Structure 1
Amino acid sequence: MSEKQGQLKDKCNGCKKSQDEGITLLRCGRCKSAKYCSTTCQKNNWYLHKDVCRARGALAEGKKWYDPFRKCRDGTSHFGDLELITWGDTTYDEGDDDHKMGWGNCFINESLQLKRKYEEEFGSDDISMYGYWPQGFRWTCCGMVGDQREGCDHHGSGPDPCQCDFCHMGRPLPDVIYNMNTLERQGLNLPRGPDPRSYNHRKAKSARIMRPAFGMPE
């Protein structure tokens, strides 16, 4: 299990000492999952544990475990479901077998090892998996990876205006983006936009300048 954010069985999540060494472990008061031998270890480990703790706390309150991760940095929120990517065998470039993607949205030659980690080490627990590999999940509202916090690019299907450059410019997604064959988008019927609520003259002007400057599709 990931020692970064997962929970260690019968070991302190902070110093990694085990009960076999004669220490007493107490569970985190909120998520009841992480274990610590002292308040010092708990405080020192909080910056690693806090995201998983919030997710388990939401689940204990009868909410979806990924509710704490919905909010984006721009103040908007993802409104779809967060799904583990359990399909694969696609590629960003036709004929480029070296970049085929597999289970969990990783390179296909590494996907079996990642799947085994999920099943055996994490006990098929999505929260622990997300703490270890958030890019292995996708948001169904926008087809973005699970750790995308820059705005939900739903192109008009969400409760708030879309924040993507194309909706700001009043343009539908170009073919080169809309037809991308990525694991995150598979099986989703995503709109093309533009979201009529999103047009912004200032942001449109900026996007028209910055996208070509950085070699991004226009």
Structure 2
Amino acid sequence: MAAMTSPVRVLVVDDDALVRAGLTMMLDGASGIAVVGEAADGDQAQAAVDAHAPDVVLMDLRMPRVDGITATRRLRARPRPPEVIVLTTFDTDDNILHALRAGASGFLLKDTPPARIADAVRLVAAGEPILSPRITRRLMDRAAVQAGAYSRAKATLATLSKREHDVVVAIAQGQNNAEIGASLDMTLATVKSHVSHILTKLALDNRTQIALLAHDAGLA
């Protein structure tokens, strides 16, 4: 970053005027950063990017009219997109994953120390994605849980016969008994018998649990 001759241009997008003012004051006082504009929601962000050509957008999530996820997706679809750092108090797994899938290069919580927010702006402008340590741990824990669920589901389904396995896949695809019979060339009575045996073998209570197990095993 020492080689950069011009400051990182930042746009602050948040529906809370006090938050915008605080971030602007903090970042304008940081070395190598200049706040070039503000916007009160995701809709205004489009025009603000046109007007100010920021390098990095600090984006809130929950805003009126156009939320931060939608705004991030739109900005990242532009021919010369700015980098986006989501800065929010809402750190649910869905918010994190939706933001990253929309193209955000960073995800920080609003209680992040000011110096770290400034560092994140510089890093993202230089092409380095950034996540707060708490978010990184959340994603790692989620991945571990999903990996464990996958392994357990595969092992559980391995106890089924080939035909029972085919019925499980059909159930996961949303087929009813008649449709399963037609697709697998079985009588309705045979399908019902297979479903009953599957529930007993796997110690499950209903078809929904069969479908969820198939999903965990990557079959749907």
TM exceeding 0.5:
no
Flag the structure with larger Rg.
2
Higher strand share: 2
Q: TM-score range by the shorter chain?
A: under 0.3
> If the length of structure 2 is used for normalisation, what is the TM-score?
0.23
* Bigger relative contact order (CA 8 A; separation at least 6): 1
> If the length of structure 1 is used for normalisation, what is the TM-score?
0.23
